[in-house]
Structure 1
């Protein structure tokens, strides 16, 4: 039986460790029949190349810094070395300096670091999507990752503001690219044990809430539900859905207490 991504060409941008959501998404996408490319940059690129060997099929690893205009300009040519276009893009990219922007530093976070967080975590969704636009010539799906930005969380501080920017950015992209058949959606996952989460001082306080308040329960070590939601949005099973945020959090977001 063919998978829901059979024949699809998918770029997963921002895969570092095999504990990342991006890695899990790449794995499920391959299992569902997709041809997958992954990306990273700088010192992490070597780690990504080693981690790539742990996927069911070792994918091409592209060098891509989404804040570098030259990298973005060269992305189409890099992708075309391996496939003749794309059907989907996963934006699994975020960064905020944990020493200055997180863990109770909201009131003191300096603009330079806030600007970097906004650039990497929010504006880059637009940058990456536009760099991939020529490759999505027959339409397609862009999926990003958020952490519910409708409320203020303990410890999350300026990353919460950056995620709010990401969520708004996705809606405007959905508006402007819908006529081209390009869908833009986000998945809002509950707290998962990832490299990014480990960098957030006090993140355990968030994790502790989920077990008691999620009607379906929550396993913060299981990336599969989030990866499956990403792949569902990449597939043809959501042809009329765009500008949406799909919660994969055990139902936590819908509970008052």
Structure 2
């Protein structure tokens, strides 16, 4: 189990949902937590309520320069930064045939996909300068691996593409680092009761059991267990493995049909 006592941790998207739960559980395990979020006032509330009161930063990660500024500010707080949870992200519901790929979609890719890796570059440079080793956990999604059956009617094409991108870029990052400088992990949540779901279902008791939605605290518990175990892939639901099968089976069917087997 990782000892977080007196470590410094940055959590983006930390003002609510999975990010707030990660911040709380990391602080309970002894970490000093920087809560970063576009909602600055809410980030300050979350940081002040942590078991070890943290440091809040208002930050809009759709700005390409923001990740580097955030890492520098977080590193300067305690003179170290032991873990970065690149968790900030948001969804967008739009049919692919109607997607204009305008500013809103570009902001989605900037936050969900590009910001974690701009952050990784800045974090790696800071670690190298300080002669330290770090850890990076990027929040992907069950959509990183497949088009889950549960969301086929949700019009999440651009969101799914951004989360697919997170996974392959993280795999390349892990490959290129080759175990040096920082450990890399990808959290892949299934259904989690975040503010997005709460908009339509204010009471979590109303969520149908077959939706298999977990609370943010359970997602954070699984995430930290994955870090403790040194896992690269950190799924939160068993069905995520089942959702991968149709794609793999489709490729094998094509291989057989093409006579490549």
Asked if Structure 1 and Structure 2 have the same fold, meaning a TM-score greater than 0.5 normalized by the shorter chain, the answer is: yes
Alignment of 1:247 onto 2:243: no
| CA-to-aligned-CA distance 1:125-179 (integer Å, 9 cap, x gap) | 1011112223334222111112222322321332111110111111122122335
Contact persistence 2:10–2:34 (CA under 8 A) = yes
Q: Distance in 2 between matches of 1:118 and 1:200?
A: 24
- Of 20, 24, 34, which aligns to 1:23? 20
In the other structure, the counterpart of 2:66 is 71
Does the CA-based 8 Å contact 1:66-1:72 persist in structure 2?
yes
| Ranges in structure 2 where 5+ consecutive residues have no aligned partner | 246-261
Which residue among 115, 119, 136 is the counterpart of 2:106? Answer: 115
What is the TM-score of this pair, normalised by structure 1? 0.77
**How many angstroms does 1:189 deviate by?**
1.5
**What secondary structure sits across from 1:82 in the alignment?**
helix
Q: Displacement of 1:54 after TM fit? A: 2.3
Moved over 4 A (4+): 198-201
Q: How many angstroms does 1:107 deviate by?
A: 2.0
Q: Which residue of 1 aligns with 2:41?
A: 46
- 2:166 corresponds to: 166
| Distance of 1:127 and 1:200 partners within structure 2 | 33
Greater gyration radius: 2
Number of equivalent positions: 230
Q: Judge conservation of contact 1:141–1:183 (CA < 8 Å) in 2.
A: yes
In structure 1, runs of 5+ residues without a counterpart are none
Q: Distance in 1 between matches of 2:198 and 2:159?
A: 14
CA gap 1:107/1:245 in 2 versus in 1, 3 angstroms: farther
Q: Which residue of 2 aligns with 1:230?
A: 223
Q: TM-score, normalised by structure 2?
A: 0.76
Residues 202-256 of structure 1: CA deviation (Å, up to 9, x unaligned): xx9xx75xx448xxxx453x22232123324445x42xx5xx321111x122347
Contact 2:33–2:47 under 8 Å retained in 1: no
SS for the counterpart of 2:142 is: coil
Match of residue 146 from structure 1: 140
Q: Does 1:125 align with 2:120?
A: no
In structure 2, the CA distance between the partners of 1:6 and 1:174, relative to structure 1 (3 Å rule), is same
RMSD (CA atoms): 2.8
